[in-house]
Amino acid sequence: MLGRLTLSDFRNHADALIVPEHRFIVLTGDNGAGKTNILEAVSLLAPGRGLRGAALREMRRQDGAGGFGIAAEVDGVVLGTGVLSGTPDRRQVRIGGASASANALADHLSIMWLTPAMDRLFLDSPGGRRRFLDRLTLALHPGHAVHSARYDAAMRARNRLLNDLRSADPVWLDALEAQMGEHGAALAGARVDLVARLNHALRDQPDTPFARPHMAIDGPDEGGDDPLPLRLARGRRRDAVAGRTLAGPHRDDLIVTHIARSQPAALCSTGEQKALLLSILLAHAALVRDDRGHPPVLLLDEVAAHLDPSRRTALFARLEQTGSQIWMTGTEDSLFNALAVATRLTITAGQIFRSTT
């Protein structure tokens, strides 16, 4: 869990300190007050671009010194990230006071989130669902981020060579395709493992007010069961014409089905889609807790807004069972009345106040 969280010149927060006293942290305030900014700051203590996927320079406070900083204590180790004023597009990471890579953050902390923008996940592009799947996978396979980065780097280098296929060095192409095969197999294997374990956990879940999903990975059939390097070598001319690589795990899609209705998630109602996402998130939190010995931190933005009181109560009970530290936002504190104990904070124009309710 996060101990002290400090923000400096991040979004609309000039200087903020939060010391959670309970596992539930409730942030309430008007729209635009800065509640989601705090969740975004926490999300940056994991590999990746955070829950908004924004560019680093966009996260700097407009009237600030040009950089920003985020730090939190986790099991006695201080994790920090941010940018310096002179290099606004270069992320800095420090773990225990020493410089580190962003991927190394996954060794110390697992973070998952659910935001209103994700309500359209099942209607979004395959890339959006693939990023969601990879965040889930990363929590159980910390090396997933490294394999993803190296796969993408090899693929970009291959695509550059294919821009002029006639002069491309075939030996260098072979080497890049071998790298894609090695790291692509690790990516695909970790995703398959995650989905299989989630489906098992979801199947054994007790009946709840939330929809029960089934998950599957779907990829374009580009060469069947042949090894990826062989498929890539055969497809060089085709990929050169297309201007991109058309085979590999970077084209996988996550398919989710509402079990009770035997219906693809994309055809379900907005409320059902939200319930499917919540079911996946809760099952995943339990898996991480059992596998890594500690549950993930959960960031839930406006999660209670469209749930009736009975479903809110059921959700809070399920969240309590995860053992996670849970950060939630809402416009009204009354949405969280069913929580007996929580650290309640009011956010007003980038200022944080202890709630009196």
Please give the backbone phi and psi of residue 92, each rounded to the nearest 5 degrees, phi first: -105, 140
SS3 254: strand
Q: For position 347, what pLDDT does the model report?
A: 95
C-alpha dihedral, 92 to 95 to 100 to 106, nearest 10°: -100
Minimal CA–CA distance to 109: which of 82, 137, 75? Answer: 75
Which helix (H) or strand (E) segment holds residue 323: the answer is none
SS3 161: helix
d(CA 107, CA 186): 18
Distances (CA, A) of 250 to 32, 156, 180, 219: 35, 12, 10, 9
8 Å CB contact between 330 and 13: no
pLDDT in tens, the chain (357 residues): 898 999 999 999 999 999 999 999 999 999 999 999 999 999 999 998 999 999 999 999 988 889 999 999 998 999 999 999 989 899 999 999 999 999 899 889 899 999 998 888 999 899 999 999 999 998 899 889 899 999 999 999 999 999 998 899 999 999 999 999 999 999 999 999 999 999 999 987 765 677 889 999 998 766 567 899 999 999 999 999 999 999 999 999 999 999 988 999 999 988 888 889 999 999 999 999 998 888 999 999 998 887 788 888 888 988 998 899 999 999 998 899 889 899 999 999 889 998 755
DSSP per position, 32-82: TSSHHHHHHHHHTTSSSSTTTT--GGGGB-TTSSS-EEEEEEETTEEEEEE
d(CA 155, CA 201): 34
